[in-house]
Structure 1
Amino acid sequence: MLEGLPPNDATHVMRVEAPRRQAQRIADLISETFDPAEVAVANFERTDDDWVVEVYAGAAFDADTLRELVEIAAGPELAAAVTFGEIEQKDWVAASLEGLAPVAVGPVVVHGSHDRGRVGPNRIGIEIEAALAFGTGHHGTTQGCLHAIVNAARRGRPQRVLDVGTGTGVLAIAAERLFHTEIVGSDIDIIAVRTAKANAAANKAPGVRMVHAAGAGARAIRIHGPYDLILANILLPPLKRLARPLASLLAPGGRIVLSGLLTAQVPAALAAYRAQGLHLVSQRHIEGWATLTLAARSDRPRG
């Protein structure tokens, strides 16, 4: 199961096979060590206790540093088994879309152009083509967030919404189509921002405003807050770093949806956000991935 997708310019890969627990420790340590905008980690199973960790980057790795991290996480034997290689730069989302069917969550259907005719008349079709950004609706994290957006629409329509790490913009587009309000989407990757802007225009979602920003401190993000709903489908390390700034952007009674989390990572994410005064409202697990919805007290002062 993927813990991240390779960056757009990935040309180098590190690989090691390990039992599940050791593989997770390796993936967690490497994710914590490197900037997720430069180095991405994939951690997936081949059998119940035979997992593979792959680390992608746009430049050659320092082999000694990577082996040292693996040794710290899982011991010298696995460190000695680490391999390095070069890969051809690739449109990863295009490859992942091959043969995938539309994804339906409530009234929302995420699909490619080849399935446009399969969207029913009472559905909200969101057409996402292959692009150099993450978010096609097929991953458990994206589906979990779509469920949270649909649930938010059933409770009432949030007026101010932020989508951090927007990727293809699929969550921002879904929120705009359901809530009929302005949505701010942000991403650290300029290619993702351009892709999301194009997808928003193609899906007739004029209320989506995309921002190229690292973190949540950019003025273009803050001036539109506080937010009634914040979506953050990224990875555990940046989610933990963003706990305080995201909580400060949340309106009293507002909610934060967190995803990009393996089930085993839920306690760490909850601890970071509970420390900011938020409480767990619900959680959904899809194919080993968790999506958490947390809320601020209605009398909570704005940060």
Structure 2
Amino acid sequence: MSDDHLTPASWTALTTLTGKDPAEALGDMLEEQLEPDGVGVFEMEDGSGLWEVGAYFAEAPDETALAVLAAAFGAKPFVISELPPTDWVAHVRRELQPVEAGRFFVYGSHDADRVPEGRVALLIEAAMAFGTGHHGTTQGCLLAFEELIGQGINPARIADIGAGTAVLAMAAARVFPDAHVIASDIDEVAVEVALANLRVNGMEGAVDCVEAAGFAHPSLTDGPFDLIFANILKGPLIELAPDMATATAPGGRIILSGLLNPQGDEVVAAYEAEGLTLVRRGELGDWTTLTLRRPEA
């Protein structure tokens, strides 16, 4: 086991409750009273209406304090788990295999000898591999993109919203090197990872990487875009529908994912309400990818 990538033992405390506001209030109170290393508040993607609140600790948390907080907010009792030391990079290398999606081949450096000739190969280091193509949503986006390429699209401006490690933006920049490609993410660390991925792929300067929530950046308001990717979650996709429609050029396309199959109809409805038309719906395992088009002016 590599000491360089070995994370020490840690603890998690997880609970669920109904309602976004109570969940966020519980998350705030956890941060204020117990000072964990991190707190996450997420809507559960199973249609239950429940929200999950999780906290992460370097040392065993105060179980009594957690029980009091759960009771105060009407949440289920916290489930506390100790996580053993883990070499995450070794785990990724064991578990993640190269992903093939049409002409695209997403791989880690440990699989460099497996890259087929003639493919658009995108290298993602194992330490940065989560959510970079080894997931049905990213693979689904690449397959939808491949289909658009086959239809003869020639986008001049491309945006990848919530880009994470920027695999989709890099794929677009490789196929359309003359296009202006922008990758944005709300997380500063994700932007740094995207820049690192561009470097290791010899693509420095091929994609503009910016930190932004949605389209809240000058580079993203200077549209419109001929192609937009957004591989995030149902809630943000629905919230972004008006901005996404405004940012799409007449005749432009949007590729959306991050959706469980049952969530597709709700997202389609939100975008159709903004005047976009569904042109493709693909399912890959439990995940759905949608391609929509803005009508010509």
- How far is the alpha carbon of 1:63 from its aligned partner? 2.6
SS in structure 2 of the partner of residue 98 of structure 1: helix
Are 2:54 and 1:63 equivalent residues in the alignment? no
SS in structure 2 of the partner of residue 290 of structure 1: strand
**Equivalent position amino acid for 2:161 in 1:** V
Of the three residues 181, 184, 208, the one matched with 1:183 is: 181
Contact 1:13–1:57 under 8 Å retained in 2:
yes
Question: Against the structure 1 CA distance between its residues 240 and 159, is the aligned structure 2 distance closer, same or farther, given a 3 Å change threshold?
Answer: same
Match runs of 1:178-217 below 5 Å: 178-180=175-177, 181-205=179-203, 206-217=205-216
CA distance in 1, matches of 2:231, 2:88: 18
Which of the pair has more CA radius of gyration?
2
Taking structure 1 as the reference length, the TM-score comes to 0.75
Equivalent in the alignment of 1:244: 242
Please tell me the root mean square deviation across aligned C-alpha atoms, in Å: 3.4
Question: Against the structure 1 CA distance between its residues 241 and 57, is the aligned structure 2 distance closer, same or farther, given a 3 Å change threshold?
Answer: farther
Of the three residues 163, 166, 171, the one matched with 2:163 is: 166
Are 2:116 and 1:115 equivalent residues in the alignment? no
1:261-284 deviation digits (Å, cap 9, x = unpaired)? 001111111111111111110011
Taking structure 2 as the reference length, the TM-score comes to 0.76
**Equivalent position amino acid for 1:249 in 2:** A
1:189-230 deviation digits (Å, cap 9, x = unpaired)? 11100000110121122321100111212212112x110011
Equivalent in the alignment of 1:232: 230
Contact 2:11–2:80 under 8 Å retained in 1:
no
Question: Against the structure 1 CA distance between its residues 100 and 171, is the aligned structure 2 distance closer, same or farther, given a 3 Å change threshold?
Answer: same
Are 2:120 and 1:124 equivalent residues in the alignment? yes
Paired-residue identity, %:
41
Match runs of 1:5-44 below 5 Å: 12-14=12-14, 34=24, 39=40, 41=42
- How far is the alpha carbon of 1:38 from its aligned partner? 6.2
- How far is the alpha carbon of 1:15 from its aligned partner? 5.2
CA distance in 2, matches of 1:44, 1:235: 9
CA distance in 2, matches of 1:236, 1:216: 17
- How far is the alpha carbon of 1:124 from its aligned partner? 1.2
SS in structure 2 of the partner of residue 282 of structure 1: strand
Question: Against the structure 1 CA distance between its residues 89 and 278, is the aligned structure 2 distance closer, same or farther, given a 3 Å change threshold?
Answer: farther
CA distance in 2, matches of 1:33, 1:66: 8
Question: Against the structure 1 CA distance between its residues 220 and 118, is the aligned structure 2 distance closer, same or farther, given a 3 Å change threshold?
Answer: same
CA distance in 2, matches of 1:54, 1:98: 29
Match runs of 1:62-141 below 5 Å: 62-64=69-71, 67-68=74-75, 79=76, 83-85=79-81, 95-131=91-127, 134-141=130-137
